[in-house]
Structure 1
Amino acid sequence: MKEYENFWDKNAKRYDRFMRKDRAAYEKLYELIRPVVKARTVLELAAGTGLIAKNIVRSASHIEVTDASEEMIAEAKRNNRSAKLHFSVRDMFCLPYADKSFDVVIVSNALHVVPQPEKALAEIRRVLKDDGVLIAPTFTHAGNSFSGKVRAFFMKLAGFPLHSRWTSEEYLCFLRQNGWTVRKSAVLKASFRLTYAECVKPAVKEKVG
């Protein structure tokens, strides 16, 4: 996770400016997320500067806003006007929360930038309630246009920690292969193709004998 932390620590102050070009896509994202988090306790992982949390907090009962980068969390705390948001620096691979603590877990645009994302999904499964929902929108770079692939190439040269290149179909397949039931998905037009995935927690198989 050190690679992730260093890159985002360096880019925390310019992150919101970088994301402005995708404002329309994110507005659609908020619309998709708000009804899912209504009156529910939410954990957001890799929250960055808190863009999603701050735009859905009126719907939720409480949101734990976390990121591995201290600088990102420092930026997220700025101009916060809601008592329902709590900020902390957390490693998504090793969370301090008890089993089945949250109604909803959000991990947005992060599973493609961390090594071994299946391990992150296992930790999410642990802290999510049995009837909980995972919301995992992710940029699916493998489905990019030529210009998008060029942008991704230069981002990689600049140190962007891209570990997984999925098409939308491959990403949804990855979630299913890790036991999640994808109950809703959508592809949003952004700088890079943004695949929204809304998943139900996998059922735990009981041991026989």
Structure 2
Amino acid sequence: MKLTIPDKNLLNRTGEVDYFDWNYKFPIKYILKYRFKRIIQLLGNEKYGWLLEAGTGSGIFLPELSKHCEHLYACDIHRDFDHITSLCEKYGIKDYNLSTQSIDQTNFPDESFDAIVAVSMLEFVPDIQKAVTEIKRILKKDGVFITICPMESKILDFFLSFYTRKSPKEEFGNARQAVSKILEQNFTIIEKGNMIPILGSFFPVYTHYKFKK
């Protein structure tokens, strides 16, 4: 699968947990790009009308997501959108909207989006249940919510500790233990899978989901 990843020089770090530069570092870049590829596979061949990326960070995924929708929206808690505007212009993205707001409380109208995408984001939200409730509110009745989340894994923890110089507990708290349970209690699963297939069921690294209300 061909994946559009912007030139590193077009991106800026937008917060403490924005590790966009890892996508260019060997060997962790292969783990991180797996997440994007899995999201694209879950989006499928359909072109969505209104798509939101929640927790866009540096905007690294926006050029790819723009290929899969007519109207692209992105939100995050930071205010550093100047370089993302330039990034969108560089890649010819014309119909886009960027906003500073947290996914647990947005100003989007009810049932705004045909698709909502979140890549390794929910584990950083202070109140996951509140975020999930908001996602359900702004997702259309026949819309899809697609996300991929890190799990507790010795493999992943090794890489995270090496690159962040922090313990997984310091980085995530107890969110990784809670996120899958909350998601599965609030949505209907269309598709679920693990990195790596079969082995990932016993030793999960990332778990991906495609949900409907």
Tell me the TM-score range normalised by the shorter chain.
0.7 to 0.9
Structure 2 counterpart of 1:79 = 87
1:164 and 2:136 matched = no
Query: d(CA) in 1 for partners of 2:17 and 2:182?
Result: 29
Secondary structure (helix, strand or coil) at the match of 1:82 reads coil
Structure 1 regions of 5+ residues with no counterpart? 1-6, 202-209
Structure 2 counterpart of 1:204 = none
Query: CA deviation digits over 1:147-203, x for unaligned, max 9?
Result: x32443463738974233536xx74333112x21111122236xx9222111111xx
Q: Where does 1:61-80 land on structure 2 (aligned, <5 Å)?
A: 61-71=70-80, 73-80=81-88
Query: d(CA) in 2 for partners of 1:9 and 1:98?
Result: 27
Cα 1:136/1:11, change in 2 over 3 Å = closer
Quote how far apart the aligned CAs of 1:118 are: 0.9
1:144 and 2:157 matched = no
Structure 1 counterpart of 2:6 = none
Q: 1:39 aligns with which of 17, 40, 48?
A: 48
Secondary structure (helix, strand or coil) at the match of 1:129 reads strand
Secondary structure (helix, strand or coil) at the match of 2:131 reads helix
Query: CA deviation digits over 1:13-38, x for unaligned, max 9?
Result: xx432223135414522531442761
Query: d(CA) in 2 for partners of 1:143 and 1:109?
Result: 15
1:184 and 2:196 matched = no
Q: 2:208 aligns with which of 196, 201, 205?
A: 196
Query: d(CA) in 2 for partners of 1:65 and 1:152?
Result: 26
Structure 2 counterpart of 1:205 = none
Q: Where does 1:108-147 land on structure 2 (aligned, <5 Å)?
A: 108-140=119-151, 142-145=152-155
CA RMSD of aligned residues (A): 2.8
Equivalent residue letter for 2:153: G
Cα 1:85/1:188, change in 2 over 3 Å = farther
Query: d(CA) in 2 for partners of 1:16 and 1:166?
Result: 20
Secondary structure (helix, strand or coil) at the match of 1:198 reads strand
TM-score when scaled to structure 2?
0.73
Query: d(CA) in 2 for partners of 1:136 and 1:106?
Result: 6
Percent of pairs with identical residues:
19
Q: Is the 8 A contact 2:55 2:76 kept in 1?
A: yes
Structure 2 regions of 5+ residues with no counterpart? 1-12, 197-203
Query: CA deviation digits over 1:98-130, x for unaligned, max 9?
Result: 111111111221111121211100011111111
Equivalent residue letter for 2:142: D
Q: Where does 1:15-34 land on structure 2 (aligned, <5 Å)?
A: 15-20=19-24, 21-22=29-30, 24-34=33-43
Equivalent residue letter for 2:70: S
Q: Would you say how many aligned residue pairs link Structure 1 and Structure 2? A: 184
Structure 1 counterpart of 2:59 = 50
TM-score when scaled to structure 1?
0.74
